[in-house]
Structures are given as structure tokens and as C-alpha cells.
Structure 1
């Protein structure tokens, strides 16, 4: 089958190459999806340039896919052949077909197309689990940095609809326009413009952004650190954790650690989209032959929200 294979980490112009890959060999609890669309995440671009580990032999990128089941799981779990699904495999999804655990898929209603569905998995699951980690947000002031990506759009809409007053930090006003429409109470172009104090800070940028955001946390507030998109290590004064008589809290977040399955969270996201309570922000839709262009645009921060590629 055709698939996108990793290029050389030293060749920025060809991060992936279209080639041939073996057909999926599903385990008993896995089904095979014929892929119609997939989305590209910044974490995958880091893997392609060697910045993150590739944990599987013969690794190929691809975590967010939508398509149709063409081979049901041998153990009888999961949807039947012919069912339209959205899925979150651990890798290998930028291909004509991919094997996915039955616990990592959710059925799609006719009202949600493959392009919309493909934007849901990594960013949507991360947003859901991030807000669970943050705790109740109704009536709370929430600051999210690096908010113009897929996760930021989902978090902003979900938190605002739950009663939070969200301040979104973005690089430019243009990149933040949609966040205001999704319910952000304030959109700023730097952490320095965010007045605070905030009850909750959600921080995926790292570098100088994290200590600046931490300084805007109220006493006994919570900062959830869930990434380092700047690729710059954080330097932090330990005593910045302390705010007056209370103690600031900082928590590291890993979206893969949860008491819910990917499929369960995908089903929740599908319901939210179907009922008009969640609106995926898709900044680019192109044929999968143009994946290298999309990766370049993501690296240069030219895509707002999610970037989706289509196979048909």
C-alpha cells in the first residue's frame, strides 16, 4: 500500500516521502481502517526532525485518522466492517490503511465528514483531558498560552462554554480572531499583556513563556505544563512557586495517562461536534501529496488550528 515514509531529519524540504509500506497486520483486538483523511500535529513534526523518540520499529507518522472499517477486530470488539470511524492510532496513520485498537476508535454519524473528524483525535483528546486535570473551571479565570493551535481552540471553546473567563495568548491578532468567536474573554499577543491574576494557567510553550505565565498565577493557583512548543528549555526560580500566604501548584500533564480510553473520549468529542457545542478549527485542507508543504507551514506557524490532508 502507499504510505508516507520518514525522510531524512537533515532535509527540511523532504520530511516525508510517498512510498510503499506493508499492509497492516492487526492484532486480535485491532481493526483496520481505510483512511480518508488525517491531520498533522506539531509533535509529529518534532519526531520527523529527530526531536522526539520514535518508539516503534519501522516507525511512520500518523496519529489522527478518519475513514471506514475494512477489517473488523478478530476478537469481536469494536465496529463492524463498513462503519465510518475516527481513530487515534499510536503511529502509522499517514497511509492508505492503518490498524487501530478497537478501544481507540469512535463511530461517526453521517453529519460529520472525514475532514472534520480527522481534526479531533490528538488535539481534542488533549483538550478534554487537560481540562479534567485543571478541575472545575466555572467562574475561574483561565490563561492559556500558545492558544492558536488545535488544542488551544478546543480548550478555549470547552472552557468558555463551561463558565470560565479565558485569556488566550497568541502570536498575532489575526491568529486570535477565531478564539474570540469561540468564547475567549480576552485575546492578547504576549503573556506580558495578560493582567491576571489567574486561577489556572495552561502552558504548552516552555522557554520564557512558562515563568512569565507562572508570575500571573494567583496564590494557591494551578499551572498545568503540557508541552514545550518553543523547543527552548525552561529556567525557573523555585521561589516563583510561592505566592503570598498560599503556595502555587505546578503539574506536568501527559495526555496518554488517563482512566478513560481514546475511543471513549473520541465518542464524547463526536457528540459535542454533532450537537453544535464544539467547532473544530481547520486552518488547512490539502491532498496528502502535499503533506511536506503542510509540515513546513506548521513549523513556520502559518496554520491556525488543525491541518488536514485527504486521500480521496
Structure 2
């Protein structure tokens, strides 16, 4: 079969090659991929790829071989999935606890944009705790996670201030339910009960200073790729007794299948709207990855497999 494999080059990070078709484990279904989404974080992984690794964690397609252990969807079922790797291919083996059924009304190109960003946003909302009436600040809100989180959190009654340097993307965040959008963390008017921080570098201390007493900062990314320096005494200047919590989307008591099904249900009910900024043929993956890395794509980038 054909699949995208990493080259280790910066000018063209993937290429289309012929690889062996997956041999599913007993708890895995074989899915014919119709569309997949690429994420900016994957462009960083492609800089120093492992020899045994193939990219691709967000897919939608059709089950062509059901799991041998009897779990999961039957042959012919349309699905969205979150495989551990290898999704940028004609076929991929996906654990059945990472698959959710797709209704006919949700196109594969829309569903493929759901897994990584949607799961992260849904689980961030869960970690933030009881949110009704509480104030929250989210940095790096222009990306896929930010869009999903704002829409989900606004529907749950949260008062959201989103940080986005793009006026166009800021306008969209307001449409999705953000109470306020500011171009810089310094412009946010706090204090906030919860801060979601995804940029790292000098922005994390700035975001921390916006917390209310005994507030919580949830650290879920470092898009700036810069390390963070914190001064213990800064905590006494504002966010006294604050908590900093590390977040990894994979650490959840719910399965990917359960949460993907929730996301699909919300999309099918017109209550969640994936931001798909680009759809292209999968032969253009290398070019799309370059645009994504350089922030040339608004929302999710989706590739369709002929």
C-alpha cells in the first residue's frame, strides 16, 4: 500500500512510499483511510523522526476488516479514529477503543479534524472542573484546540477571555462564544479562576500572574518551543497559593472511543463546528505541512485519500 513516510528533511518532510499493509492485532480494526488531519505538533516530530515511526493520528474512513476479538464496529462502518501512528496512509490498523462510528451526515473531511484537537479541548474542559459562571483565560486560542475549547466551554456557561493576535481569528472566537478576545496576555483583564496555557516561554509567567488567589494554571503545550523560567516570589505578587497542573490529553479515564463519540454527536447536532481551513489531496501533504508549520493555515488542514 502507499503511505506517507518521514524523510528527516526540512524542505520536504514526508514523501509517498510503498510500505507493507498493516496486520491488525486482535483488538484492532483495519480502516481504509478517506481523510486525515495534520497537526502543527507533528511538524516538530518530523524534524527528528524515529526510524520505526510513521506519522498520522487523526483519520476518518471505512472499516474493511473488523477486529478479531469481536469488539468495535463491523465491516462497512464509517468511522473516525485516533491510531497511535501511521494514519497518513491508504490503510491503518486502529484499536477499537480509539474508533467512533460516523453518521452519514458528517463528512470524512470534517470528522478527520476532530481527534487530537477535539479530544484535547474536551478533556481540558473536564480537567477545568465545574465551570459555570467561572472566568477563564486561554492562550494560543487561534489553533484548533482553542476553537474547540471556546465553543465547548461557552456552551457550558464559562466566561472566556481568549488570546489571539489575529483580528480575523479573534472575530471567529467571539462568534464561538468568547466573551473577550485580546491580542496579548498583558491585555487580559483578570483575575481568572483558571488559565489554560499552551505557548510556554515568557508567556507562562505572564499568564500565571493573571490568576486569582488559589487559582489553577493548566499547562498543556509549549508552542513557542522556548523553556519557562518561574520565580517563586512572583506567586506572592498576585496568584497566591496558585496551582500549576501539567496536562496531557492521553491521560484520561475515558477511552478515545467514548470521547470521539461525544464529539461526533455534537457535530452531528450542529453544536460543535470543526474549523477546517484547508482541504487538499494527500499528494500535497509535504507542502501543506510547510504551510502549517509557518502558520499559513487557519484552523485544521485535512488531506483526502483518493
The two structures have a TM-score, normalised by structure 1, of 0.95
Cα distance in 2 for residues equivalent to 1:244 and 1:202: 17
Cα distance in 2 for residues equivalent to 1:241 and 1:93: 43
1:15 counterpart = 2:13: yes
Give 1:285's aligned residue: 279
C-alpha distance 243-264 of structure 1, shift in aligned 2 (>3 A)? farther
Per-residue displacement from partner, 1:274-296 (whole Å, max 9, x unpaired)? 11111111111111111112111
Q: 2:110 aligns with which of 97, 108, 116?
A: 116
Cα distance in 1 for residues equivalent to 2:238 and 2:255: 40
Cα distance in 1 for residues equivalent to 2:76 and 2:237: 56
Contact kept in structure 1, 2:209 and 2:238, CA below 8 Å: no
Per-residue displacement from partner, 1:150-183 (whole Å, max 9, x unpaired)? 1000000011111111111112212222111101
Give 1:77's aligned residue: 71
Give 1:153's aligned residue: 147
Give 1:41's aligned residue: 39
Give 1:31's aligned residue: 29
Q: 1:115-264 to 2 correspondence within 5 Å?
A: 115-242=109-236, 246-264=240-258
Per-residue displacement from partner, 1:194-236 (whole Å, max 9, x unpaired)? 1111111001110111111111111111100001111001111
Cα distance in 2 for residues equivalent to 1:283 and 1:297: 12
Cα distance in 1 for residues equivalent to 2:149 and 2:233: 29
Moved over 3 A (4+): 241-246
C-alpha distance 245-61 of structure 1, shift in aligned 2 (>3 A)? closer
Q: 2:89 aligns with which of 83, 86, 95?
A: 95
Cα distance in 1 for residues equivalent to 2:267 and 2:191: 32
Cα distance in 2 for residues equivalent to 1:152 and 1:186: 14
Gaps of 5+ in 2: none
Contact kept in structure 2, 1:64 and 1:93, CA below 8 Å: yes
C-alpha distance 181-61 of structure 1, shift in aligned 2 (>3 A)? same
C-alpha distance 266-245 of structure 1, shift in aligned 2 (>3 A)? closer
SS at match of 1:234: coil
The two structures have a TM-score, normalised by structure 2, of 0.97
Contact kept in structure 2, 1:32 and 1:99, CA below 8 Å: yes
Per-residue displacement from partner, 1:78-114 (whole Å, max 9, x unpaired)? 0000000000001100000000000000000011000
Q: 1:271-282 to 2 correspondence within 5 Å?
A: 271-282=265-276
SS at match of 2:204: helix
Give 2:302's aligned residue: 308
C-alpha RMSD of matched pairs (Å): 1.3
Query: Per-residue deviation at 1:243?
Result: 5.6
Gaps of 5+ in 1: none
Query: Per-residue deviation at 1:29?
Result: 0.4
Contact kept in structure 2, 1:220 and 1:243, CA below 8 Å: no
SS at match of 2:221: coil
Give 1:269's aligned residue: 263
Query: Per-residue deviation at 1:71?
Result: 0.5
Query: Per-residue deviation at 1:244?
Result: 5.7
Contact kept in structure 2, 1:241 and 1:249, CA below 8 Å: no
Cα distance in 1 for residues equivalent to 2:277 and 2:266: 20
